[in-house]
Amino acid sequence: MTNTPDAYCVMGNPVAHSRSPWIHARFAELTGQSVSYDRALVPLDGFADHVREFAARGGKGCNVTVPFKLQAAELATSASERVRLAGAANTLVFGANGIHADNTDGLGIVADITRNAGVPIAGRDVLMLGAGGAAAGALGSLLEQKPRRLVVVNRTHAKAQTLVQQHAELAALHRVELLALDHKSLAGDLNHNFDIIINATASSLSGAEVPAPPSVLRAGSLAYDMMYGPAAQPFLDWARNHGAVARDGLGMLVEQAAESYALWRGIRPPSARVLAELRALLLTEAAH
């Protein structure tokens, strides 16, 4: 008897660079599950059709990446509170009752900071640089960790204010001081320094400077870039040069995948092991 693997995929445009198929193949091997996971390059105007076709062909669920995360949230028939807050979904689960949307990006960064890096968020002062989709996806999960203070700073200040307003209720529930600051206020007061600084901006992609003054760092602060590879390097260099501990977003990538896998399969894969393997693979690739 042939056993057809349960089919999943990552839908995006572009998607060729995605490491998700490699990560999920390792999760399946290490947990002994019969799963296939492919890349799906989806036309920019064809996301909803593509999802429905994949589900009709027997697909069990998918990850969603740029630029479809907002559409994924809209298309779903049910959604988690995390999706409602972020307005974006990165995980769809196909069930008998429709399509359920979740967002595991925030859970991924929290797991990587607290478990893999061993840095608690509870009671700490956190700075979020950026107020786009990446920042929105993480903010709810960060607040649930009950930091003492969470400050959002963005080039376009109004977007930081909107993001803070959207999360005000959740922050109050967890007794977190949540506020938006503009760049001038951030730079003008040396008391604005933090235990954890998260770069959720795309500034390095355009070769721009790190969008924060070094005064935000304390000795030994954790400076975290949501990106990995060359895109994260300017921020990581800046952080190390000013005495902070720097970490890229590779662990967030693996941990968000692990959260998606757990939603689909009801089983938690050994994510720390897969992260170590992926880091070794990337180092080998970079050396060639």
Figure out which of the listed residues 154, 193, 260, 271 binds ligand ATR, where binding follows CB under 6 A: 154
Name the one range near ligand ATR by CB under 6 A: 53-61, 129-137, 213-221, 278-286: 129-137
Q: Taking the complex as a whole, how short is the minimal distance between the CB of residue 60 and ligand ATR, in angstroms?
A: 26
Figure out which of the listed residues 148, 149, 159, 279 binds ligand ATR, where binding follows CB under 6 A: 159
Name the one range near ligand ATR by CB under 6 A: 13-21, 90-98, 128-136, 139-147: 128-136
Q: Does 158 engage in binding with ligand ATR (CB under 6 A)?
A: no
Figure out which of the listed residues 130, 147, 249, 251 binds ligand ATR, where binding follows CB under 6 A: 130
Q: Which residue is nearest to ligand ATR (CB)?
A: 132
Nearer to ligand ATR, 79 or 163 (CB): 163
Nearer to ligand ATR, 135 or 250 (CB): 135
Nearer to ligand ATR, 120 or 214 (CB): 214
Name the one range near ligand ATR by CB under 6 A: 70-78, 92-100, 108-116, 148-156: 148-156
Q: Does 206 engage in binding with ligand ATR (CB under 6 A)?
A: yes
Q: Which residues are catalytic?
A: 69
Q: Give how many residues touch ligand ATR by CB under 6 A.
A: 17
Q: Does 61 engage in binding with ligand ATR (CB under 6 A)?
A: no
DSSP string computed for the chain: ---PPEEEEEEESS-TT--HHHHHHHHHHHHT--EEEEEEE--TT-HHHHHHHHHHTT--EEEE-TT-HHHHHHH-SEE-HHHHHHT--SEEEEETTEEEEE--HHHHHHHIIIIIS----TT-EEEEE--SHHHHHHHHHHHHT--SEEEEE-SSHHHHHHHHHHTHHHHHHTT-EEEEE-HHHHHH-TT--EEEEEE---GGGGTPPPSS-GGGEEEEEEEEES--GGGGHHHHHHHHHTTPEEE-THHHHHHHHHHHHHHHHSS---HHHHHHHHHHHHHHHHH-
Q: Does 133 engage in binding with ligand ATR (CB under 6 A)?
A: yes
CA dihedral 146, 151, 156, 162 (to 10 degrees): 40
Name the one range near ligand ATR by CB under 6 A: 14-22, 164-172, 206-214, 269-277: 206-214
Applying the rule CB under 6 A, the residues between 171 and 200 that interact with ligand ATR are: 200
Nearer to ligand ATR, 80 or 201 (CB): 201
Q: Does 201 engage in binding with ligand ATR (CB under 6 A)?
A: yes
DSSP string computed for 184-220: HHHHH-TT--EEEEEE---GGGGTPPPSS-GGGEEEE
Q: By the criterion CB under 6 A, which residues form the site for ligand ATR?
A: 130-135, 154-156, 159, 200-203, 206, 208, 211
